[in-house]
Amino acid sequence: MKKKIESYQGAAGGWGAVKSVANAVRKQMDIRQDVIAMFDMNKPEGFDCPGCAWPDPKHSASFDICENGAKAIAWEVTDKQVNASFFAENTVQSLLTWGDHELEAAGRLTQPLKYDAVSDCYKPLSWQQAFDEIGARLQSYSDPNQVEFYTSGRTSNEAAFLYQLFAREYGSNNFPDCSNMCHEPTSVGLAASIGVGKGTVLLEDFEKCDLVICIGHNPGTNHPRMLTSLRALVKRGAKMIAINPLQERGLERFTAPQNPFEMLTNSETQLASAYYNVRIGGDMALLKGMMRLLIERDDAASAAGRPSLLDDEFIQTHTVGFDELR
């Protein structure tokens, strides 16, 4: 089924996000149950949102969620079920023609299932039979390292902890998942270039910096809770520059659903003070141009007897090859 995508001229968040969440919740489950779950999300005594990995602030709001997170919870605790009759009516070949959204909207599994090649369908089996067959397969390997325990990046932290505990008891530490596969280039590339295989910025750094450059990501789509941090940054007078081939609304302007004034007045916060739409793959050329400009301005400052524009001590201590670059 094709859905018509209408043009949206409003800011990211705001009443548009509230309406979208309400629609998703209405389709999936009991609204009261969903709201109760949302109050526990991203809380020390609650659970982490499965929507993204944005960190939790030290002092969170009573309702520390975003549009994506609310929808993720609605899908997780949906009342809809896919049982044996669903798989009896739908072969695997037919399900391959369904879109991701259609499959998600069908509901949650209610019992163990096993693929039957003859009918091309998944057929139910008892929990005891499922455990027996899984156990027999695991016991058939001579070395636990022959097994990989693959899981989804959408798995909750709590479920992932139990899953890895089970695998370690079995004797394996092979835990690939989609997040691991996605960020493997990051861990290798960053480790070689800066010595650490992950980002080096803390959430608290957003409260101290003067400038944030958002390059190569779409926070309004992938991790909307970041918009709250960007909004707070702009409100205190810092700047945010966006570099993105996509003109994402979430990097342009934002209405915070947790802010009563913006919601009641339908106002918004301008986020990016400058937005550069580079061509896809053009970020490399842009970064090289920025480096060249900094070096040229630093050379001019040095020739005029002014202080260096570069952090020479940092460059000498933590980098190699700068002279060749220059």
Are residues 240 and 300 located together in one domain of the fold?
no
Does a structural domain hold residue 136?
no
Which positions ≥6 away from 157 have C-beta within 8 Å?
47, 48
Q: pTM for this structure? A: 0.79
Q: How many domains does the chain have?
A: 3
Are residues 196 and 244 located together in one domain of the fold?
no
Residue 235 CA to residue 237 CA, distance in Å, equals 5
Are residues 210 and 269 located together in one domain of the fold?
yes
Does a structural domain hold residue 256?
yes
Are residues 206 and 194 located together in one domain of the fold?
no
Are residues 180 and 212 located together in one domain of the fold?
no
Does a structural domain hold residue 92?
no
DSSP 18-75: HHHHHHHHHHHS-HHHHHHHHHHBTSTTSB--SS--PPPPSS--TT---HHHHHHHHH
What is the separation, in whole angstroms, between the first and last Cα of the chain? 56
Are residues 208 and 190 located together in one domain of the fold?
no
Does a structural domain hold residue 211?
yes
pLDDT per residue rounded down to tens, the chain (326 residues) = 566 777 888 899 999 888 888 888 888 766 666 677 777 787 777 777 777 778 877 766 666 778 888 888 888 888 888 989 999 999 999 999 999 889 988 988 989 999 999 999 999 999 999 999 999 999 999 999 999 998 877 777 788 899 999 999 999 999 887 777 777 888 888 888 888 888 888 999 999 999 999 998 899 888 898 999 999 999 999 999 999 999 999 999 999 998 999 999 999 999 999 999 999 989 999 999 999 999 999 999 999 999 999 999 999 998 888 989 88
Helix (H/G/I), strand (E/B), else coil: 93: helix
Structural domain that includes position 318: 283-325
Does a structural domain hold residue 216?
yes
Q: Of 162, 164, 154, nearest to 73 (Cα)?
A: 154
Are residues 290 and 305 located together in one domain of the fold?
yes
Q: CA torsion sign, 308 to 314 to 317 to 320?
A: negative
Helix (H/G/I), strand (E/B), else coil: 201: coil
Are residues 179 and 212 located together in one domain of the fold?
no
Residue that finishes a domain, picked among 200, 220, 249: 200
Are residues 207 and 269 located together in one domain of the fold?
yes
Does a structural domain hold residue 259?
yes
Do the beta carbons of residue 157 and residue 48 sit within 8 Å? yes
- Residue 270: CB atoms within 10 Å: 12
Beta pairing partners, 81: 108
Does a structural domain hold residue 61?
no
pLDDT confidence of residue 310? 94
Write out the two tokens for 91. Answer: 């072969």
